[in-house]
Structure 1
Amino acid sequence: MKFDTTILELVLDASLLVQMVMLLLLTLSFVSWYLIFYNSRRLKKAGQHARSFEDWFWKSRDFASLYNRINAHDYHEQGMEKLFMAGYTEFARMRKQAEAIAADRLSATQRAMQIVLNNEADELEKNLPTLATIGSVSPYIGLFGTVWGIMHSFHALADAKQVTLAMVAPGISEALIATALGLFAAIPAVIAYNQQITQVDRLLSRYHSFSEEFTSVLQRHAYTSPAATGATSSTNE
């Protein structure tokens, strides 16, 4: 308990600028921990959803029926569902154009899914730059507070005739708290960023693989009649 009281006293005795630096670092730490838990939950749900939809997709033999079932659900589509819906909608639309050749149909379908894939990548990665920024700048902010605190301590001793370690130690201790807070904010942010960017890359790779596999399946249907895949009955266009 004495240790906690001493730390608090050191913070309260620090100069105003050093206190502002400490407050900023604490704020950055709270933001980083919020993003860490938020991103972890979101990526976990995205991974679970991808696995369940893949199982659902490969068990379904009628893509038109699968499209209609997804379209009938009143919820926000995500991940692979968006890829499937965008790809199949574009494929069905192109199948209705008699002048479109099979290669054009597949090319349009791939473009539609690529747009969705890019949007999903942006959505999954939107909070990661903030974590990376906190992890990279926090130590320097803490170091700035430390340097300023030490300068302030030595400046206060300029008129002293005899300087002892006991006179300098409290000021240096106050300043070093800023460095500790900088590391406290930076280390979890860096670790979380490295883990979560890996999760995002794996998830996007999974989306890309699904897009390629779905394109391969559609390629086999591109040269058949529209009625063979139910493409004309799957959309309301």
Structure 2
Amino acid sequence: MKKKIIMGCLVLTLSTMATSVSADALKYKNLPARDLVWDGQQAKVTDVPVVIMDGRTLIPVYLLRAFGYSVSSDGNKVVVTSEDSKYEVAIGIVHSFENFLEEVTVYDQLLLTTSMEMEEEEETPEEKMKFVSSEWEAILRNYDEKVKLLNQLHVNFETNRSVFKESDKMIDAFRQTTAAWFTYAKERTKESKRIFLKEIQEAHSCTRQTQQAVDEIFNKSMVRMDH
């Protein structure tokens, strides 16, 4: 799928048709040559350099070709078109983690529901404990698979990495919550229940932070993509 990115964030000067590239090169001849690093990749300057002037950075559009983009003019705009798959990767992250967050929400409800049911039970709920243990192991396997997949995709966007950061916090919070749930299942005391409820509130907070990180990827990707 082709995406068109209007380079509004770059300071672009459109020369008249009669102006040659070599003339532009002479104009900037004595300025220091700065290479452009884009998402971890470096492009070497060949003629017109990257210029910092009056507190602004002027980037010659030709450098973007080094990163797999094609450049064309459309009226008074410069349009950069790419076959790059990075934004599809971002959308893939969104869908993947949306599904995962749904699974986490179901698990969250399981912990709450079973904790309320145990208030009426006198014996240790062996079957519940086995089921919760099985569901927790499934959550961990699913998360490990997602981390491995996304590492293979070499995701470099800082925004995308925030999903890893927040989801790691979420998994740690649910690890603590699950441990507290098992303690409550065995002890059935007011104190163990209090600790469990405190831990699950923290897990809820971490889940919301992960959802926000996922939403941020979605919103930024939609802004950059032109179907």
1 or 2, which has the higher strand percentage?
2
Q: TM-score range by the shorter chain?
A: 0.3 to 0.5
**Taking CA–CA contacts closer than 8 Å with sequence separation of 6 or more, which of the two structures ends up with the larger relative contact order?**
1
Query: TM-score by structure 2 length?
Result: 0.36
1 or 2, which has the higher helix percentage?
1
Query: TM-score by structure 1 length?
Result: 0.35
Q: Which has the larger radius of gyration?
A: 1
